[in-house]
Structure 1
Amino acid sequence: MQTRPSKPNLKSLTGLRFLAMLPVFLTHAAFEGVFTDADASWGFLNVMGTSGYLAVSFFFVLSGFVITWSVRPGDTARAFWRRRFFRVFPNHVTSWALALVLVLTVGTGIGLLPSVTQLFLLQSWVPDPAYTDTGNSVSWSLAVDVVFYGLFPALLALVNRIAPKRLWYWVIGTAVAAAVVPAVGLAALPDTPEMPLSGVSESQYWFAYFLPLFRMLECFLGMLMARIVLTGVWIRLPVLPAVVLVVLAYWAAQQMPYLYRLSAVTVLPVALLTAAVAVADAEGRGTPFGNRVMVWFGELSFAFYLLHNLVLKYGHLLLGHTEVDGEQVGRTWDVPGGVAVIAGGFLVSVLLAWLLHNGVEKPAMRRWSRPRKARTTAAAGGSSRPADAVPAGEVLAP
C-alpha cells in the first residue's frame, strides 16, 4: 500500500462531517413524530426530504477519500486492518450493548438472530427490515464500511495502477454504475411488500440502499477522487460552485422516483465537493468548515452517529408512550414542546458522544491500534505524535 507522503491535514473535511450529520439527526427526529399537530409532523418530514440520504452518501464518499489520502508510506494491509478494527468495533460494541439495554427497558423486543448479525455487522446483507431496522439501526452503514475496509488494500492497488489521465473516466463510470443500481432493483425485484412512504418494495429499497456490494461504489468513488487530487489532475472546481452543484443535484433528485433520490443523482456532485474542500485545505486556503468549533464537533461525529438515534427513538419512548396496533408509540407535544424535545435530544447526543469518544474510542485506539513494539519504539524515540493520532485527516465516516 503506497501513495504520496507528506499530505496536509484536511480539517475542513472533519468539520464538514458534523455539518452532514445534522440532516441525518433531523431526519431521524422527523420520523419520531413528536408533534401533536399532524401538519407540523408531516411538514417537518417533508422539509427534510431525502437530505439524510444525501448525507449518508457523502459519508461513504468521504470514507474512501480520506483513507486513500492518509495511507502511510510503507504501511501494510495488516496494520491498516488493525487500525480500522479498533476504531470501529469498540464504539460499535458499546452502542450495540446500550441498544440492548434500552430495548429491554422499554420492552420493544429484538430477535436473537437480528441482534447477533448486528453485533457482527452482517445485517445489511439480509433483505429483511427485521435485521436493519432494529436495535441500533444506524449501524447498518458500518456493515458497508467493514467490507470496504477489508477490500481496501486490493482496491488501492487497483486505483494506484490507473494512469492519471484515465482517472476521470473511472470516476464517470463509477458514478454511472451507482446511478444504474436503482433501475436494476426496480426491474429485477418484486414490488411488494411496500415500504411506507416510498412507493417501492422492501427488497427494492434494501437492494439500492443497504446492500454493501453497491454502497461500496461510493467509497470507491471517494478513492478515485483522492487519487485525482494527489496526482494533480483535479479540475480546479472551487468550493462554492461545488456546493451549488450539490444543491442543484439534490433539487433534481426530488423530481425523480424515490430510489433515485437516495444517492444516484447526487453522488458525483458530492464527490466533487469532497475533493474541492480537500484541495482548499491542501493549498492553505481553508474553508468555513475548518474552524475549531466545527472540527471539534466533527471529531465527535462517529460517536454521535452511533448514539443519536438511540437517544431519539428510545428517549422518546421513555418520556411516555402508548401501544397502537401492537407497536409502542411515543407521546407528542405542541410545536414549542416538540422543538424542545428535539433540541434536548441533540444536546444529550452530543454529551454521550463526547463520553464515548473520550472514554472508549480514543483509549482503544491509543491502547490497541498499534502493536506494543511500535508503541514502545515511538515512546522511546520521543515522538510528539500520540498513539491514537489520526494522520492527514484519516477519519471514520459513518
Structure 2
Amino acid sequence: MTVIERQPAESPAGPSATNRADRPASRLGWLDGLRGIAALLVAVHHSFIIPMIPGGNAFEDNFDLGLYAVMVFFLVSGYIVPASLERRGDVRAFWVGRIFRIYPVLVVVVAISMIVYGAGRYTVQSDYIHYPTWSAVANLTLLQDMMGVENALGVMWTLCYEMVFYFFVSALFVKGWHRRSAPISVFFAGAALLLGGWVEPQKLTPQNLAQAGQHGQVVHHLIIAVVLVLVTGMVCVLSGRPEAIRTGALTLGGLGAVLLFFNARSTFFESMLILGTMFAGTAIFRAEKKQIDRTLAWVCCLFVLAAGFLCGYMYNRGGAVDRTWTKNSWHTFAFAVLAAWLTFGIGMLLRNRRWPRVLTWLGKISYSVYLVHLPILWLTDWAVRKYFYVPDTGWRSYEPKVAMLALVFVIAPLSHRFLELPGQRLGKRVQTMLDRRFPQPKPETAVAEPAVAETAGTPAGPAPQH
C-alpha cells in the first residue's frame, strides 16, 4: 500500500459544525472512505483468509485484491498530494510534513517487527537481519525497493513509489510544470504499454543483498550514492532559499527518475503504470478545479486505464508475476487495475454525499493499518498455533485470521493516536522553527507561485499518509 495524503473530512477544532459543513474539506470524506476500504482489503488480503472461503482460490486466480487496494491508494494519493503542495506554495513545508507523517510510526513498527522476528516469525525480510547496517540505511531512504535491497516490511515497496512521486511533484512545481499532469500520465502509461514487454527491470544491482555475492559492492556503492544525492537535495530544499530549493527539488526529481527507469525491482510496465496512475489522479483533480480541460482529463484517464488493462493482458505472464506478486494469470493484474479505477470513479460520483463514519474512520487510521497488520498477522498466527489447537478445516480454522484482523483494528488506532498525531505535531513545530530561523522570501519572490487562488477548494492542512 501506499502513503496517502489524508485530508480530514472535518477540522478537529475551529468554527461551528454548521460552518464546517459549508467548507470544501467536508466534501473530501469520500477520500477517507476509499482509503478505509483499501486499508481493510489489504489486511484481509494478507491474512490469507480468502483462500479458506469456498470459491476463494478461484477468486484469487482471477483477481489480485492487494494490487487492487494499492492502486486505489495510488489514485487517491495522486489526486490530493500535489494539491497539498500547491495550496501551500511551499516545497520546504511540504517535505517537512511528509517526513513527520511517514517516519515516526514506520520506525517504531519496524523496530517492533524485529522483536517479533526474534520470536521466530519472519516479519521482516531476511536482508534486514543478515545485512542490518546497509538494509537500515537503504530502508530509511524509502528507496530501498529501487536499490536492490529488500523492504524491511514487505508492504514498504509502495512507499518507494510514493517517494518518487513526491520527488517528481516537487521538481515539476519549482519548474512551473505542475499543471502538465495529463500529458505526464499519458507518457508513463504509454511507456508501460510500448516498452513493458522488453525493458528489463533492475539493471544496476542484483535483486537483493543475499543474492549479490561478489557483486554486493555494487549495491553498497549505489546506496552510498543515493544517500549522498538524497541528503544533498533535502538540505537544499530545507534551506528555504529559493535557488537552493529549486536545485534541491530538481536533484530529487532526477534521483527518482534514475532509480525508477533503471533499477526498480518490479516490472517496467508496473512501475510506469503506477506513476501514470498517480499523475492521472492529479489530472482528475485539475479537471475538477477547472485548471485543465475536462475532455483532456477524460482522454488521459481512459488511456491510462486501457494501458493498465492491456499491460496486464500482454505482459503479466511467466516470470513477470514474480515481480508483480500476482498469481500466474493476466486476469489478476488487469482486472485489479480495472476495478481500482471503477472504485475511484464511483467515489467521485458520491463525493458530495456523506460516507459511513466507519469507513472515514478507517481512512484516518489507514496508514497505521497498512504498517501494523503484517507484524500482527505473524505474531497472532504464531501465538495461536503455539498455544492453541487450530484445525485445518471448519469454523475454528478461521480463528487466527479473525483474531489478527480484530487486533489490527485495536492496535492501529493506538498507533494513529500515539505515533502519527504526535509526529504531525512535531512536524509543525519543526516547520515553525525553520520558518523562524531560516525565513523564506515573501510569496511574490518565492521559488514558485503559490496556487492558493487556483486550489481554493482544497481543504487546509495535509494529514497523515495512507
Q: TM-score, normalised by structure 1?
A: 0.68
Q: Establish whether residue 12 from structure 1 lines up as the match of residue 12 from structure 2.
A: no
Structure 1 residue aligned with 2:413: 354
Q: What fraction of aligned residue pairs are identical, expressed as a percent?
A: 22
Residue 181 (structure 1) shift: 5.9
Q: How does 1:82-161 map to 2 (within 5 A)?
A: 82-106=96-120, 108=122, 110-111=129-130, 112=132, 113-127=134-148, 131-132=150-151, 135-156=152-173, 159-161=177-179
Structure 2 residue aligned with 1:295: 360
Q: How does 1:127-206 map to 2 (within 5 A)?
A: 127=148, 131-132=150-151, 135-156=152-173, 159-162=177-180, 170-180=184-194, 182-185=196-199, 206=265
Is residue 64–residue 219 contact of structure 1 (8 Å, CA) maintained in 2? Answer: yes
Distance across 1 between alignment mates of 2:312 and 2:372: 29
Q: Establish whether residue 24 from structure 1 lines up as the match of residue 91 from structure 2.
A: no
Is residue 185–residue 207 contact of structure 1 (8 Å, CA) maintained in 2? Answer: no
Distance across 2 between alignment mates of 1:393 and 1:372: 14
Query: Do the aligned partners of residues 368 and 394 (structure 1) sit closer, same or farther apart at CA in structure 2, a change above 3 Å counting?
Result: closer
Is residue 39–residue 370 contact of structure 2 (8 Å, CA) maintained in 1? Answer: yes
- Aligned partner of 1:316 among 378, 381, 384: 381
Structure 2 gap segments, 5+ residues each: 1-22, 208-261, 321-329, 437-457
- Aligned partner of 2:344 among 256, 260, 274: 274
Is residue 33–residue 362 contact of structure 2 (8 Å, CA) maintained in 1? Answer: yes
Residue 57 (structure 1) shift: 1.6
Is residue 96–residue 136 contact of structure 1 (8 Å, CA) maintained in 2? Answer: yes
Is residue 284–residue 297 contact of structure 2 (8 Å, CA) maintained in 1? Answer: no
Is residue 121–residue 143 contact of structure 1 (8 Å, CA) maintained in 2? Answer: yes
- Aligned partner of 1:367 among 419, 423, 426: 426
Residue 205 (structure 1) shift: 9.7
Q: What's the RMSD between the two structures over aligned residues? A: 4.4
Query: Do the aligned partners of residues 142 and 205 (structure 1) sit closer, same or farther apart at CA in structure 2, a change above 3 Å counting?
Result: closer
Structure 1 gap segments, 5+ residues each: 1-5, 194-202, 322-329, 377-389
Is residue 11–residue 393 contact of structure 1 (8 Å, CA) maintained in 2? Answer: no
Answer with 261-270 or 82-91: which moved more: 261-270
Query: Do the aligned partners of residues 295 and 254 (structure 1) sit closer, same or farther apart at CA in structure 2, a change above 3 Å counting?
Result: farther
| Aligned amino acid, residue 170 of structure 2 | P
SS in 1 for 2:191: helix
Structure 2 residue aligned with 1:208: 267
Per-residue CA deviation, residues 168-222 of structure 1 (Å, 9 max, x unaligned), is 5554444333445642357998xxx9xxxxxxxxx99933289867633332222
Query: Do the aligned partners of residues 261 and 159 (structure 1) sit closer, same or farther apart at CA in structure 2, a change above 3 Å counting?
Result: farther
Distance across 2 between alignment mates of 1:127 and 1:332: 39
Is residue 66–residue 395 contact of structure 1 (8 Å, CA) maintained in 2? Answer: no
Structure 2 residue aligned with 1:380: none
Answer with 272-281 or 149-158: which moved more: 272-281
Per-residue CA deviation, residues 134-156 of structure 1 (Å, 9 max, x unaligned), is x4221221222222223322234
Structure 2 residue aligned with 1:307: 372
Distance across 1 between alignment mates of 2:295 and 2:464: 26
Structure 2 residue aligned with 1:234: 294
Structure 2 residue aligned with 1:382: none
| Aligned amino acid, residue 39 of structure 2 | M
Q: How does 1:331-350 map to 2 (within 5 A)?
A: 333-350=392-409
Query: Do the aligned partners of residues 214 and 236 (structure 1) sit closer, same or farther apart at CA in structure 2, a change above 3 Å counting?
Result: closer
Is residue 79–residue 278 contact of structure 2 (8 Å, CA) maintained in 1? Answer: yes
SS in 2 for 1:231: coil
| Aligned amino acid, residue 143 of structure 1 | C
Q: Establish whether residue 50 from structure 1 lines up as the match of residue 71 from structure 2.
A: no
Is residue 178–residue 218 contact of structure 1 (8 Å, CA) maintained in 2? Answer: no
Distance across 2 between alignment mates of 1:211 and 1:117: 22
Distance across 1 between alignment mates of 2:84 and 2:185: 20
Query: Do the aligned partners of residues 393 and 52 (structure 1) sit closer, same or farther apart at CA in structure 2, a change above 3 Å counting?
Result: farther
Q: Establish whether residue 223 from structure 1 lines up as the match of residue 240 from structure 2.
A: no
Distance across 2 between alignment mates of 1:158 and 1:69: 14
Distance across 1 between alignment mates of 2:334 and 2:193: 4
Residue 361 (structure 1) shift: 0.3
Per-residue CA deviation, residues 32-80 of structure 1 (Å, 9 max, x unaligned), is xx79xxx848953442431211211221221111112334545310000
Is residue 77–residue 278 contact of structure 2 (8 Å, CA) maintained in 1? Answer: yes
Residue 102 (structure 1) shift: 0.6
Distance across 2 between alignment mates of 1:269 and 1:69: 25
Is residue 21–residue 55 contact of structure 1 (8 Å, CA) maintained in 2? Answer: yes
Query: Do the aligned partners of residues 261 and 219 (structure 1) sit closer, same or farther apart at CA in structure 2, a change above 3 Å counting?
Result: farther
Residue 115 (structure 1) shift: 4.4
Per-residue CA deviation, residues 348-385 of structure 1 (Å, 9 max, x unaligned), is 01111001000010111023235336999xxxxxxxxx
Answer with 299-308 or 216-225: which moved more: 216-225
Per-residue CA deviation, residues 237-257 of structure 1 (Å, 9 max, x unaligned), is 99xxx9xxx9xx989958974
Query: Do the aligned partners of residues 344 and 159 (structure 1) sit closer, same or farther apart at CA in structure 2, a change above 3 Å counting?
Result: farther
Query: Do the aligned partners of residues 364 and 314 (structure 1) sit closer, same or farther apart at CA in structure 2, a change above 3 Å counting?
Result: same
Residue 94 (structure 1) shift: 1.1
